[in-house]
Amino acid sequence: MSATTPEGSEGDGDAVAIRAATEPMIVVPNAPGMFDVYSGETAIYTVDLVQGACECPDAMYRGRECKHQVRVKQAIGDAPVPDGVRLDPTLARRRDTQR
């Protein structure tokens, strides 16, 4: 896993937050601060919130916070969900149960 910088490249944070909120993903805790993110049809990435890392190519090679890291933060309530976007149903259900 690779450490990343918060919110990625300048101006790209909003796009990453939108992709994180709208693309189909399932977040499953696997240890304190660690989450498996099921993304797409076959991809599973481990997100380490303590180290600020994800195993995905975006985080590893571009050195920025990826959509998987943001999605985990959105799912646990540590990051806002952008207004006016159609949420992925798994994120919408998760947020409804936290209210």
Interval 24-73: pLDDT, tens: 999 999 999 999 999 988 899 999 999 999 999 999 888 889 999 999 99
Cα dihedral angle (69, 71, 73, 76), rounded to 10 degrees? -140
91 in any annotated domain: no
Out of 18-27, 41-50, 85-94, which region has the weakest mean confidence (pLDDT)? Answer: 85-94
12 in any annotated domain: yes
Whether the full predicted model's pTM is greater than 0.85, yes or no, is no
Query: What domain range is 54 assigned to?
Result: 2-79
CB 7 within 8 A of CB 65: yes
Give pLDDT, residue 98.
Answer: 52
Using pLDDT thresholds of 50, 70 and 90, give the confidence band for residue 94: low
86 in any annotated domain: no
25 in any annotated domain: yes
21 in any annotated domain: yes
State the total domains in the chain.
Answer: 1
Average pLDDT rounded to a whole number, residues 68-84: 94
